[in-house]
Amino acid sequence: MDVDLRKLRYFVAVAEELHFGRAAARLHIAQPVLSRQIRAFEQELRAELFVRDRRSTVLTEAGRQLLTDARALLASAEALRRRVQRAAHDRQTFTIAFMPGIIVTAEARALAQLHPDLTVGVLRTSWADQAAVVRDGRADVSYVRLPTDQRGLRLRPLFTEPRVVVLPSEHRLAGAASVDLAALGEERLLQDPDAVPEWRDLPNRPSEPAAPRPELNSVEEKLEHVAAYAGVVILPLSTATFYTRPDVVHLPVADLGPNQVCLAWAEENSSPLVPEFVDLAVRQAQPPRPPSTEPGAGL
């Protein structure tokens, strides 16, 4: 049986929203049409994907498995579409993705000088999509900060840099020279705990509060919540010092290891420009130099 990618996209929208009305609005189609498409998809797969009633929509075990596989399949299909379009229109482009705090100007300029007819672009990412952009073809290479999902990727380590905790400027720990990770165990972490596994795995850490963690995709959003005493974040030093503001401070965390930065690209990307850029990146790799490394410096 061939999988209908359109129905698969419809399924992912419903699975992520867990609400047919919101999913239909997101897809810009009528809700009855969406419901019919999902029922037809379930019949094709011979599996129930959702348990539905008047109050809720819940994924079945089969639905959870399909959602796990569907995202990677759709990303692969999108990457294929982008590569075919580039080939069809003979577009000589190369896109470099980067995380906040990382500067890629020198590498982008060097590649452009080697290939005057090449259009070199840059793309800012976040922790949530830093790997996805090379899987779906939006970028040829991506400067990623570990940990990240490495499935379907090749990685080349480049450099490491310290991590710091960002606190409100009037926090009880704000005047300290540094803190231990255990001292942060009772704080509310505003980012995905998988981004800071050392904090996530602290022994005797209190259970998560009843209020759900806000979905914060940008550094700016995280700092706004920190300043409002909603919690703390752990950031690479260069990222913390890039966003200067008077109502938050950053402190070294004495027992927290450095952040590893790698260059990532898709395994199936056969462009000769990729290994050429990898060589450029390795030669120029060095940790960013933040403007201030003094403990407690304002952000």
Provide the pLDDT confidence category of residue 55 given band limits of 50, 70 and 90. confident
Strands (E), 112-242: 119-124, 141-145, 153-161, 163-168, 233-236
- Spatial contact of 82 and 137, defined as CB atoms under 8 Å apart: yes
**pLDDT tens digit string along 24-37?**
999 999 999 999 99
pLDDT of residue 143: 97
Residue type at position 85 = Q
Domains, the chain, with CATH or none: 5-77 (1.10.10.10), 90-160+259-284 (3.40.190.10), 163-252 (3.40.190.10)
Global pTM reads 0.70
Bridge partner residues of 253 (DSSP): 179
**pLDDT tens digit string along 64-119?**
999 988 887 887 787 777 767 666 655 588 999 999 889 999 999 999 999 998 99
Residue 39 has pLDDT above 50, yes or no: yes
